[in-house]
Amino acid sequence: MNFKVLDIENANDCSFHSDGFDKIFSLFCFHWVTNKLDALINMHLMLKSGGEILIDFLLINPVTELYKFMDAGWKKYIDEVKQISHTSYSQDEVKKMFIEAGFRIISIESNSRKYTFPDLSSLLNAMRPVDALFNILPPHLHDKYFMHIKDKIHETQFLEICPTTEKTLLTYYPITVHAIKD
């Protein structure tokens, strides 16, 4: 087994591995890619004929969806994370991207899933490692940022929170695509 670390959106980076791989997989990372079509074209280029791709990612990224509700004072920081895809997709749009990149889809599956956190703080702590905005903020703004997110979650009813137990239900929308390069 051989692993390579590449910038999947960079055609020059990927062209060195043209027809080099039998399999490419990505598990819950592809929603962070800004230009998904370019990335898929590059993956297609890197696969041998008959090579397969399996990608599992979020159609709607809950972290970046929260950014849409943030007050203007946070906008300058949100603009700094513009390299992150803020776009949500439908299953049909994803299917079209894969076909446009040259893949034949073997299977595509998407449905809503739910995960229950003991409380809102547990959810926010789980978000920290993948929240690009949190990671670029000066440390003295971290508490203020999470207070603002909590307020926005309650204000917009972005999540279901049980008023008695405080259990917090996150609904998310993963998609799994298995495709082949003919």
pTM of the model: 0.84
**CA distance linking residue 172 with residue 56, whole number of Å:** 13
End-to-end CA distance of the chain: 23
And the tokens for 148? Answer: 């603002």
**CA distance linking residue 32 with residue 8, whole number of Å:** 11
The pLDDT value given to residue 86: 62
Summarize pLDDT for 106-154 with one digit per residue, the tens. 999 999 999 999 999 999 999 888 888 898 999 999 999 999 999 999 8
The pLDDT value given to residue 126: 92
Q: What is the DSSP letter of 84?
A: S
The Cα-based distances of 80 to 23, 77, 136 in angstroms read 34, 5, 8
**CA distance linking residue 128 with residue 63, whole number of Å:** 10
Which residues of the chain have a pLDDT value below 70?
Answer: 4, 82-86
Domains and CATH numbers, the chain: 11-180 (3.40.50.150)
